[in-house]
Amino acid sequence: MTPEGIFGVAGQAAMLGWLILIFLPRRWPALLWLPRFIIPFGLSLLYSGLAMAHILTVDGGGFGSLAEVKTLLSNDWALLAGWVHYLAFDLFIGGWIAVQADKVGISRLIQAPILLATFMAGPLGLALFLAMRAGFVRGAPSEEAVMQGAAA
């Protein structure tokens, strides 16, 4: 299979995971395994194979300088490995965000743009979620306050 063909298959797998996380009206625990674990695991295996087979074979490529990374990513196979790395980690983080947001009671309508940001620019979505969760949890009444209100 060509790098372009693998690129398409990997992208479709990741897209399926994102569609499940963002657009399904309910998050069924059994179905969440697909975007949270199954697809990222498959992409991680693909990345590992690509990295082992191609990243160490690029003359002048490496991770010691920006010039070495540029040389490394000039190889289509190594570039594909890097892309699959992004797909795997961003989807895994998206699954984590979805579960954590559900746990603290953040509305799915608020989650959607955060998940879209994670899909498009992983660390941006993660930063948005962490900031929102900190504000959301801080603004929520403590368990003690809730119990006192119920006793009154």
Q: Residue 110 is part of which domain span?
A: 3-151
**Residue 3 host element (H or E):** helix 3-23
Q: How far apart are CA 46 and CA 27, in angstroms?
A: 27
The confidence score (pLDDT) of residue 49 equals 97
The confidence score (pLDDT) of residue 146 equals 46
The domain total for the chain is: 1
Q: How far apart are CA 72 and CA 14, in angstroms?
A: 24
Q: How far is CA 147 from the centre of its chain?
A: 36
Angle formed at CA 121 by CA 16 and CA 40, multiple of 5 degrees: 40
Q: How far is CA 15 from the centre of its chain?
A: 11
Per-10-residue mean pLDDT of the chain, 152 residues long, equals 97 97 87 96 98 90 95 95 97 97 92 97 96 76 53 55
Please give the full DSSP string across 52-90, using - where no structure is assigned.
Answer: HHHGGGSTT--SSSHHHHHHHTTSHHHHHHHHHHHHHHH
The confidence score (pLDDT) of residue 141 equals 53
